[in-house]
A and B are shown apart, each in its own frame.
Chain A
Amino acid sequence: MMQNKFNDRSTAGRIIRQIKYLSEDKRIKIMHVCGTHEQTITKHGLRSLLPENIEVVTGPGCPVCITPAKEIDEAVYLAGKNIVAIYGDMLRVPGTAISLAKKKANGGDVRVVYSPVEAVDIAIKNPDREVIFFAIGFETTAPMTAQILQKAPPENFSILCSHRLIPPALDFLLKEGIGIDGLIDPGHVSTIIGVRPYEELSRKYHLAQVIAGFEPLDVLMSIYMLIKQIRNDEAKVENEYTRSVTYEGNTIAQGMMSKVFKADSREWRGLAVIPLASLTLRKEFENFDARKKFEIPPPSDETRNQECRFCANVIKGTGRPKDCPNFGENCTPDKPIGACMVSTEGTCSIAYRYRHISLSP
C-alpha cells in the first residue's frame, strides 16, 4: 500500500524539529510496551535522532519475556510423552531447568507452528497422540486460540493457557509508579481491543497516551503527539494508527475471547502476580485445558537456573540493556542468560542485534 510514505526522511526531520521545539529541554520519559515498537525504534536508530531530554523506555511488551519460567517447565514436562506445539519464539527461552529446545534435543516432541490452526492439524494427523498447544501472547494471539477452541478441535487437542492482558498490566505498573510522562500504546493489541480500555488509565493516572503504528514515522509522530499533550497538561488517549485501529477495536475477536476465556491472576516473569492480567479457560472449555487434563508436577525451586536479575528492570522500563552488567558480555543471543535476550523481540536481543546502528542500546 503506502507503507513507504510512513518512512519518509524529510517528514521525520520535520517531526523531530517539532519535538525539540515543543519539549523545551524538559526531561520527558516515554514508555512503549511492544517488542515490535522496540524493533522499529532501535533498527532505525530513532533514540539517537531524538533530543537528549527525551527518553524512550520499554515496558513489558514482549510476551515471550514475561512468560514465567515455571509455565515453560509445564510445557517441557508435557513434551516428554506428548506433542507440544509452540510459537517459534518460545523454543529457546529457559525454564527453571531447561528450555524447550533442550527438551527437543533430548528427544521431546516439540513442534514449531506459525498459527494455532497448524497445531490443530497436527492433532488431526496424529489421532493416537495428545497434542498440546502452548498458547502464549497478549490480546493479539488470544482471539486465535479462542477461535480454534470454538471450532470443536479433536479430543486429543488441548492448550496450555499462558495468555496475558495488556491494560491490567499497565494499570499495575502505573499504580506502582514507574515515573513516566507518556505512554505509546501497542498498535496491534489495540487493533483488537480498541481505544476504550486505555481511557480509564489516562483518567486515573493523568497520563498522556497515543496508540501508534509500527513504521518509523508512526513512532516519531506518536512521540510528538505525546509531547503536545504533556505540554498542554492533557491526559487523553489519541489514536495515531487510524489505518488499523478503530475506537471499538475488532469486536468479533473480542467476542471470541470473552466466550472462551475469563480473567485470572498469574505471575508475569520479572514482575509479580498481576491481578486479572492473565486468561484462563471458562468452564465450558475446560476439557481443552492441559492443566486439568494432565497431572503436571509443580516446579521445584531447587532446580532454578541462573537468571539475569536485571531483566526485571528492563521489563519494567526502569533500566536499559546497556545498564546490565551481563549485556553483550556473558549474555548474548547465542548464549542468553535472561529472557530479554532470548526472544527476537526481547529488548536486550534487539539492542544487541542493532548495536552498530543505535548509539544508545
Chain B
Amino acid sequence: MCLAVPAKVTEINGEEAVLDYGGVKRKANISMLGDVMVGDYVLVHVGYAISKLDEDEALETLKLWDEMLKASP
C-alpha cells in the first residue's frame, strides 16, 4: 500500500507531469512538489509524486555507511 516507485520526469504540463518508469511512460500529479524539473527523479505513490529523490544525498549515504563501517571495531 505504501509502495512508492521512482521515475524520471520527462515533461511538465502545469500540475501534471509525464514520468518515465524505466521505459514505461505514465502521467502523475506533481502538485505536492514545489520545484520539480525535467530530468529530476521523483518517488510516485498512487499517481502523485511525493518527493524528489536526492542523488547527492544517496551518494552521501553510501559514503557515510562506508566510513561508519570502517570506523566500527
Contacts and interface: CB of A to CB of B under 8 A. Distances in A.
Interface of A: 1-3, 5-6, 11, 14-15, 18, 21-22, 34-36, 39, 61-64, 87, 89, 114-118, 137-138, 140-141, 143-144, 147, 186, 188-189, 191-192, 214, 217, 221, 240, 242-245, 250, 252-253, 256, 343, 345
Given A1-B41, A5-B62, A35-B2, A250 B51 contact: yes
Contacts of A6: 62
Shortest 6 CB-CB distances between A and B: which pairs? A115-B47, A243-B58, A243-B57, A188-B2, A242-B57, A140-B2
Contact of A11 (B1, B32, B65): B65
Contact of B48 (A21, A35, A143): A143
Interface residues of B, number: 31
B61 to A, nearest CB: 6
A1 B6 contact: yes
Contacts of A147: 29, 31-32, 48
A89 B30 CA distance: 24
B73 A343 contact: no
Contact of A343 (B1, B41, B48, B62): B1
Secondary structure class of chain A's binding surface, majority of residues: helix
B50 to A, nearest CB: 5
Nearest to A221: B65
A244 B69 CA distance: 22
Contacts of B62: 2, 5-6
B33 interface: yes
Secondary structure class of chain B's binding surface, majority of residues: mixed
B46 A114 contact: yes
A242 B1 contact: no
Contacts of A256: 32
The listed residue with most B CB atoms (<10 A of its CB), out of A6, A87, A117, A217, is A117
B12 interface: no
B53 A252 contact: no
A188 B57 contact: no
Given A18-B69, A36-B2, A87-B1, A1 B51 contact: no
14 contacts: A2-B58, A61-B2, A62-B1, A116-B46, A117-B29, A143-B48, A143-B50, A144-B45, A188-B43, A188-B45, A191-B43, A243-B54, A252-B32, A345-B1
B4 interface: yes
Contacts of A3: 6
Contacts of B41: 1
Contacts of A192: 50
Given A114-B46, A256-B32, A15 B69 contact: yes
A190 to B, nearest CB: 10
A141 B65 CA distance: 31
Nearest to A1: B41
B1 A250 contact: no
